Amino acid sequence: MTLLRDHDLARAFDHASRTYDRLTALNPGYRTDLLRSARRLRLPRDGAGLHVLDLGCGTGASTRALLRAAPKARITAVDASSGMLRRALAKPWPPQVRFLHLSAEELTTAEEGPFDAVFAAYLFRNVSDPDAVLRSVRALLRPGGRLAVHEYSLGGSPAHRALWTAVCAGVIVPAGTLTGDRALYRHLYRSVLAFDSAPAFTARLARAGFARARALPLAGWQTGITHTFVARATPAVAEEAAR
């Protein structure tokens, strides 16, 4: 199956940015689930004194979830789509939040990090080399830093695949067609089918050197379709990545 990648995907998000918030609002629990995943970072002291990266922030829904979960944290939010970032920047934000036009592959520790935690929502399906991005994330994190990945990643049951196909055929792709963004929403459908299952992505995190990697379910219709993956960068791993 053909998927959009890199600049083609960024351009598709640029075009879709004008209607993106309205379409995601059709998904029951979209923002609630983002908040639940952000809270699963379990940042102490409401994030006071911590620097958190929102990797692939889109129009800012994940950034807002982070801000609610850790209202005292300093947040750097990045995205490869200039159109999505313009929508995010048009919203009101406190001074400790900043937005940067960067892809996940372009971030470096010297320029932006290190970070105490990284939150990545709906990102890893959309990168060409998820292992390389995980290595970058590992290098960006302080020793013991926390990672939470909020992602469509199917569970082991064929029923999860069947439900995802039905939702896309009945709602997601037709809605995207109406807005002129059919290619992007067909990419969404196909990218979930092509991406790691929940056990496979958990194993990918462990191979990348993250400790205590595990997949946590989300409630509602997305159970078995969307997961929060949480993990830690161990001191030994973080020091090796920094060399």
- What is the tens place of the pLDDT at every residue in 3-16? 999 999 999 999 99
Across 39-56, average pLDDT: 97
Torsion sign over Cα 229, 235, 237, 241? positive
| pLDDT value at residue 238 | 41
Domains parsed from the chain with CATH numbers:
6-242 (3.40.50.150)
Cα separation of 149 and 37, whole Å? 8
CA-nearest of 83, 73, 125 to 104 is 125
- 199-223: pLDDT as tens digits: 999 999 999 999 999 999 999 999 9
CA-nearest of 12, 20, 10, 33 to 59 is 20
> What is each CA distance from 77 to 96, 103, 198, 205, in whole angstroms?
11, 11, 25, 22
Are 14 and 117 within 8 A, CB to CB? no
Average pLDDT value for the chain = 93
Cα separation of 181 and 187, whole Å? 10
| pLDDT value at residue 241 | 43
Q: Mapping DSSP to helix (H, G, I), strand (E, B) and coil, where does residue 167 land?
A: helix
**Diameter of the chain measured on Cα atoms:** 50
Across 77-92, average pLDDT: 98
| pLDDT value at residue 156 | 80
Structure tokens at 202: 């958990």
| pLDDT value at residue 1 | 57
CA-nearest of 89, 84, 79, 150 to 119 is 150
Q: How far apart are the first and last CA of the chain?
A: 38
Residue 193 pLDDT exceeds 70: yes
Count Cβ neighbours within 10 Å for each residue of 129-164 and write b for 16 or more, e otherwise. ebeebbebbbbbbbeebbbbbbbbbbbeeeebbebb
CA-nearest of 65, 22, 2, 58 to 228 is 65
| pLDDT value at residue 240 | 45
Across 90-118, average pLDDT: 89
Residue 161 pLDDT exceeds 80: yes
Residue 47 pLDDT exceeds 70: yes
In this prediction the pTM is 0.94
Across 117-131, average pLDDT: 96
Across 26-31, average pLDDT: 90
